[in-house]
Amino acid sequence: MNTELLKETIKRELPGLLRDDPALRAYILDLTRQEYAGREETQDRFYEMLAELRRDREERAREWREYQDEQHLKWEEQNRKWDEQNQQLKLLNTEQNRKWEEQNRKWDGLTQERSRKWEEQDRQWKESGQRFDRMHEEIMAQAKKQDRAIGALGARWGLQSEAAFRNALAGILEQNFGVQVLNVNEYDDQGEVFGRPDQVELDVIIKNGLLLICELKSSTDKAGMYIFERKARFYEKRHQRQANRRIVISPMIDPKAKRVAEQLGIEIYSDSTDVEMI
């Protein structure tokens, strides 16, 4: 029997022999013991491997926990930084908003101040214009008074008619007070005014139920004042109505005539513009 055939026979028959023959099995085990570890050694090695795997797993778990803790700390630190940055941004925004509000308040104040100054300047200009207008009106009124005084002199010396001067004064009354001056010419058949029958001429103003009897002349004296008073009484008697005011307007009134006017309750004015409100 050659070697190869023997090997094939042993491979085929050896499992059954080891199963059926304990002595042979023990012999084979003892013969091959040095080639592999025994059960106890195998078990010890197995347990050692398990323990090593357990330690390795625990080490990995510890490292993982440490890593998680480290990452958690890093996230907390990052979140803290983010919170600080957000807080700083909020503070910065608050400060910027405060500065903008302060700037807007200053601009509003400046705008209001400028508006107030412009309004004040405009008011001053208007007041200056009004003062100028009043001054101009006063100057023009004074000039017109002087013109009327000169006209009165002209009428007195025959340079112009008394009627033209009277019409000028009547026109001023109508312009200033919005009234109509009526020239009344009535016949005094009893001679109550002049002592003999004659025409009686005078001016009247009727406004809102008031009756004003006027004398518009370039000049008047004491006698003229008495004549006007008789004219007024003549008109009141004829029309059965009491005059509310008796007015003489003349730029040239004799001082004695002024005393008579005061005694008779007659108002005297040097110009139509001086008359109190009608």
| Model confidence pLDDT, tens digit, residues 132-174 | 677 656 645 554 554 544 444 444 434 345 776 787 778 778 8
Q: How many residues does the chain have?
A: 278
Q: Region 201-208: what's the mean pLDDT?
A: 89
Overall average pLDDT of the 67-76 stretch: 88
Task: Report pLDDT digits (tens) over 3-13.
Answer: 788 778 877 87
Instruction: Indicate the pLDDT class of residue 126, thresholds 50, 70 and 90.
Output: confident
Answer with the residue of higher pLDDT: 177 or 149: 177
Q: What is the pLDDT of residue 148?
A: 47
- List the 267-269 sheet strands across, edge first: 182-188, 198-207, 210-216, 245-249, 267-269
Neighbouring residues of 233: CB distance < 8 A, sequence distance ≥ 6: 192
Least confident of 109-123, 145-159, 257-271: 145-159
Per-state percent for the chain, helix, strand, coil, to nearest 5: 70, 10, 15
Of residues 178 and 264, the one with the higher pLDDT is 264
Which of the 8 DSSP states describes residue 208? Answer: T
**Which residue would you say has higher pLDDT here, 147 or 230?**
230
Q: 84-101, pLDDT tens digit by residue?
A: 888 888 888 888 888 888
Distance from C-alpha of 271 to C-alpha of 131, rounded to nearest angstrom: 23
pLDDT for position 42: 63
How far apart CA 149 and CA 249 sit, in angstroms, is 12
Q: Kindly report each contact of residues 240-243 with a partner whose C-beta sits within 8 Å and lies 24 or more positions away, as own/partner.
A: 241/211, 242/211, 243/211, 243/212, 243/213
C-alpha to C-alpha distances, 152 to 56, 160, 171, nearest whole angstrom? 139, 9, 15
Run of H or E including 165: helix 162-177
DSSP class of residue 195?
S
Q: From the CB of residue 257, how many other CB atoms can be counted at a distance below 10 Å?
A: 23
Query: How large a percentage of the chain has pLDDT more than 70?
Result: 84
The span from the CA of 92 to the CA of 94, in Å, is 5
Where do the domains of the chain lie? 161-274
Residues paired with 187 in a beta bridge: 199
* Whole-number Å distance between alpha carbons of 195 and 201: 15
68-82, 104-118, 235-249, range with greatest mean pLDDT: 235-249
The pLDDT, as a whole number, for residue 20 is 83
| Residue 209 binned pLDDT confidence (cut-offs 50, 70, 90) | confident
CATH number, domain 161-274, options 3.90.1150.10, 3.40.190.290, 2.40.37.10, 3.40.1350.10: 3.40.1350.10
